[in-house]
Amino acid sequence: MTHYKSNLRDIKFNLFELLGRSEVLGTGPYEDMDVETAEAVLDEVNHLATTKLAESFEAADREPPVFDPQSHTAPLPDAFKRSYRAWMESEFYKIGLAAEVNGQPAPPSLRWAMNELVLGANPAVYMYASGPKFGEMLFRNGTERDQQIGKLIAEKLWGATMVLTEPDAGSDVGAGRTRALPQPDGTWHIEGVKRFITSAEHDLSDQIVHLVLARPVGVEGVGGPGTKGLSLFIVPKYEFDLETGDLGERNGVVVTNVEHKMGLKVSNTCELTLGGDKPAMGWLLGEVHDGIAQMFQVIEDARMMVGTKAIATLSTGYLNALEYAKSRVQGADLTQNRDRSAPRVTITHHPDVRRSLLNQKAYVEAMRSLVLYTASIQDKVAIAAAAGVEDDDAIKLNDLLLPIVKGYGSEKSWTLLGTEALQTFGGSGFLSDYPLEQYVRDAKIDTLYEGTTAIQGQDLFFRKIIRNQGRALGQLQSEIQQWVADESGNGQLKDERELLAKALEDVEAIGTVMATHAMTSDPRVPGGDPRNLYKVGLNTTRLLFALGDVVCAWLLLRGAEVGLAALNGEQPESEKRFYEGKVASARWFAHTVLPKLAAERVIAESTDLSAMELDEAAF
Question: Which active-site residues does the annotation give?
Answer: 450
Per CB under 6 A, 195 contacts ligand ST9: no
Closest CB to ligand ST9 among residues 20, 226: 226
Indicate if the alpha-carbon torsion angle 582, 585, 586, 587 is positive or negative: positive
Shortest distance, position 489 Cβ to ligand ST9, whole Å? 36
Measured distance CA(293)–CA(460) in Å, rounded: 17
**Please, are residues 272 and 194 in contact by the beta-carbon 8 Å criterion?**
yes
Options 44-52, 291-299, 487-495, 577-585: segment touching ligand ST9 (CB under 6 A): 291-299
Per CB under 6 A, 174 contacts ligand ST9: yes
Options 301-309, 357-365, 425-433, 473-481: segment touching ligand ST9 (CB under 6 A): 301-309
Closest CB to ligand ST9 among residues 459, 600: 459
Beta-bridge partners for 250: 238
Within 470-522, residue ranges assigned H as helices are 471-485, 494-519
Q: Name the E strands within 60-129.
A: none
**Please, are residues 140 and 129 in contact by the beta-carbon 8 Å criterion?**
no
Using CB under 6 A, pick the residue from 9, 27, 31, 171 that binds ligand ST9.
171
Per CB under 6 A, 127 contacts ligand ST9: yes
Using CB under 6 A, pick the residue from 93, 134, 240, 363 that binds ligand ST9.
134
User: Mind giving me the DSSP string for 170-198?
Assistant: SS-GGG---EEEE-TTS-EEEEEEEEEEE
Closest CB to ligand ST9 among residues 292, 536: 292
Measured distance CA(106)–CA(119) in Å, rounded: 19
**Residue 195 backbone dihedrals phi, psi, to 5 degrees:** -130, 160
Options 130-138, 309-317, 325-333, 385-393: segment touching ligand ST9 (CB under 6 A): 130-138
Measured distance CA(303)–CA(96) in Å, rounded: 17
Closest CB to ligand ST9 among residues 475, 481: 475
Residues with Cβ within 8 Å of residue 433, at least 6 apart in sequence: none
Per CB under 6 A, 200 contacts ligand ST9: no
Per CB under 6 A, 293 contacts ligand ST9: yes
Q: Tell me 73's DSSP state.
A: B
Per CB under 6 A, 377 contacts ligand ST9: no
Q: Give the x-and-dash track for 430-449 against ligand ST9 (CB under 6 A).
A: -------------------x
Closest CB to ligand ST9 among residues 18, 232: 232
User: Mind giving me the DSSP string for 410-431?
Assistant: HHHHHHHIIIIIHHHTGGGGGS
Shortest distance, position 192 Cβ to ligand ST9, whole Å? 15
Per CB under 6 A, 369 contacts ligand ST9: no
CA 67 vs CA 74, 161, 256, 261: distances in Å? 4, 18, 9, 13
Shortest distance, position 130 Cβ to ligand ST9, whole Å? 4
Measured distance CA(185)–CA(187) in Å, rounded: 6
Using CB under 6 A, pick the residue from 97, 305, 366, 509 that binds ligand ST9.
305
Using CB under 6 A, pick the residue from 137, 253, 281, 381 that binds ligand ST9.
137
Residues with Cβ within 8 Å of residue 29, at least 6 apart in sequence: 105, 382, 383, 386
Per CB under 6 A, 463 contacts ligand ST9: yes
Per CB under 6 A, 459 contacts ligand ST9: yes
Q: Give the residue from 122, 114, 153 showing the smallest Cα distance to 33.
A: 114
**Please, are residues 119 and 46 in contact by the beta-carbon 8 Å criterion?**
no
Shortest distance, position 427 Cβ to ligand ST9, whole Å? 33
Using CB under 6 A, pick the residue from 264, 416, 422, 455 that binds ligand ST9.
455
**Residue 192 backbone dihedrals phi, psi, to 5 degrees:** 160, 180
Q: Where on the phi/psi map is residue 600: left (φ > 0), alpha (ψ -120 to 50), or beta?
A: alpha
Measured distance CA(374)–CA(354) in Å, rounded: 30
Per CB under 6 A, 298 contacts ligand ST9: yes
Shortest distance, position 431 Cβ to ligand ST9, whole Å? 29
Shortest distance, position 400 Cβ to ligand ST9, whole Å? 10
Closest CB to ligand ST9 among residues 164, 504: 164
| Contact set with ligand ST9 (CB under 6 A) | 127, 130, 133-134, 136-137, 162, 164-165, 171, 173-174, 198, 226-227, 292-293, 296-302, 305, 449-451, 455, 459, 463
